[in-house]
């Protein structure tokens, strides 16, 4: 007998809450260091009210829900746990209050990122700051909150089951595609992009380059764990796969745009983020979900050489 999560049927209020929070992520983090709509008015002035509206809407509509079963308002029926005619053990989506709590975790993510200096500085102090804020503040605390507050733990597993032929083919193909995209991105589409990762102009640069290499690998693994294994997994419990995947792509892109990937970066990163859910093959999606951090390490492993050889 197999187990499957019942298809989420979010209400209009819940969907509005999601997209208010997503828009806030774009305004507060994605445009954090960019000029605001008016002189002296940064984008986050518009973003924080959206966070408040999303939280208020979620807790007003969903925060009063109790119990593990919930009334599916779209279908007009109670959703519980049982067995369907095909012999599949169906598991009900999280209760209504779980979405309200999820918006709190998303707000925590946005808040931590807002107070974190997100750039390509490779100094020891900045690396330590990123480890504490991104590693401990977001990954660890969010995992603990999901386990003990949401009562539904996050899955940070890297390996699950045997690899199919499609998975083995994707592994080298993903590396080649990533390297190709990065090459054109750095050398043709946005040739000044390497300025986002400053290196010493004089003297030996080997030490700084190695810190850049490991720092990019850390961030490359972190963004997969944060935006796929954290944000996307939480959203997929409350929304249909396509909508959850689209929302996480905005979260994913906003962070990397603020960090360094300007110019053509949003288009490249957004396309990459959407790859997380473009295939209907469940086994292939499971592969992308679990192995993508490793692909990111390979993707960013070439970043140092690209910056080193980038045009002045």
Q: Please count the CA atoms within 13 angstroms of the CA of 170 that sit on its side-chain side.
A: 20
pLDDT tens digit string along 7-65? 678 889 999 999 999 999 999 999 998 888 899 899 999 999 999 999 999 998 776 55
Quickly state the pLDDT bin for 177 (edges 50, 70, 90).
Answer: confident
Q: What is the pTM assigned to this prediction?
A: 0.75
Domain membership of residue 138 (yes or no) is no
pLDDT of residue 193: 74
Quickly state the pLDDT bin for 111 (edges 50, 70, 90).
Answer: very high
pLDDT at residue 85 tops 50: no
Do 56 and 90 meet the contact criterion of CB atoms below 8 Å apart? no
Pair (105, 180) in one structural domain: no
Q: Among 270, 238, 287, 266, which Cα is nearest to 21's?
A: 238
Q: Which of 22-31, 70-79, 178-187, 300-309 has the highest mean pLDDT?
A: 22-31
- Pairing verdict, β 89-91 and 82-83: antiparallel
Pair (165, 97) in one structural domain: no
How far apart, in whole angstroms, are the C-alpha atoms of residue 274 and residue 148?
A: 30
pLDDT at residue 144 tops 60: yes
pLDDT of residue 64: 59
pLDDT at residue 241 tops 70: yes
Domain membership of residue 60 (yes or no) is yes
pLDDT tens digit string along 246-302? 999 999 999 998 888 888 888 888 988 888 655 444 443 444 444 444 334 334 333
pLDDT of residue 122: 74
63 is written with which tokens? Answer: 């925060």
Pair (285, 211) in one structural domain: yes
Q: Among 264, 249, 255, 254, which Cα is nearest to 184's?
A: 264
Which residues pair with residue 89 across a beta bridge?
3, 83
Say which residue, 12 or 119, is predicted with more confidence: 12
Do 67 and 96 meet the contact criterion of CB atoms below 8 Å apart? no
Domain final residue, candidates 115, 143, 171: 115
Quickly state the pLDDT bin for 96 (edges 50, 70, 90).
Answer: low
Domain membership of residue 151 (yes or no) is no
Pair (170, 306) in one structural domain: yes
Pair (44, 169) in one structural domain: no
pLDDT of residue 182: 79
Q: For residue 98, what are the domain limits?
A: 1-115
Average pLDDT, the chain: 75
Number of domains in the chain: 2
Domain final residue, candidates 88, 115, 142: 115
Quickly state the pLDDT bin for 124 (edges 50, 70, 90).
Answer: confident
Name every residue whose Cβ is closer than 8 Å to that of residue 145 and which is 6 or more positions away in sequence. Answer: 105, 108
In degrees and rounded to multiples of 5, residue 112 shows phi and psi of -65, -45
Q: Among 58, 50, 52, which Cα is nearest to 24's?
A: 50
> DSSP characters for 149-193?
TSSS-----S--SPPPHHHHHHHHHHHHHHHHHHHHIIIII-TTG
186 is written with which tokens? Answer: 């750095």
């Amino acid at each position: 007998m197999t187990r499957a999560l019942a298809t989420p049927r979010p209400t209009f209020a819940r969907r509005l809450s999601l997209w208010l929070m997503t828009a806030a992520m774009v305004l507060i983090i994605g445009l954090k260091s960019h000029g605001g709509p008016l002189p002296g008015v940064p984008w986050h002035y518009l973003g924080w009210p959206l966070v408040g509206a999303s939280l208020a809407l979620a807790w007003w509509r969903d925060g009063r829900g109790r119990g593990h079963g919930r009334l599916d308002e779209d279908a007009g029926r109670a959703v519980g746990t049982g067995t369907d005619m095909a012999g599949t053990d169906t598991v009900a989506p999280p209760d209504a209050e779980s979405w309200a709590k999820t918006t709190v975790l998303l707000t925590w993510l946005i808040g931590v990122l807002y107070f974190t200096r997100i750039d390509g500085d490779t100094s020891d102090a900045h690396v330590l700051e990123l480890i504490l804020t991104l590693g401990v503040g977001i990954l660890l605390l969010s995992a603990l909150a999901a386990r003990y507050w949401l009562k539904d733990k996050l899955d940070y597993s890297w390996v699950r089951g045997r690899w199919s032929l499609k998975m083995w083919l994707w592994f080298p193909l993903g590396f080649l595609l990533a390297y190709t995209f990065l090459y054109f991105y750095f050398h043709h589409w946005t040739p000044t992009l390497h300025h986002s990762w400053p290196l010493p102009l004089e003297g030996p640069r080997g030490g700084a380059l190695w810190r850049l290499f490991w720092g990019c690998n850390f961030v490359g693994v972190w963004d997969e764990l944060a935006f796929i294994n954290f944000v996307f997994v939480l959203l997929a419990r409350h929304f249909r796969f396509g909508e959850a995947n689209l929302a996480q792509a905005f979260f994913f892109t906003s962070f990397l745009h603020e960090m360094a990937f300007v110019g053509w970066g949003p288009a490249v990163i957004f396309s990459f983020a959407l790859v997380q859910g473009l295939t209907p093959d469940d086994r292939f999606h499971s592969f992308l979900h679990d192995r993508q951090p490793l692909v990111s390490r390979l993707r960013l492993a070439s970043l140092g050489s690209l910056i080193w050889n980038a045009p002045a």
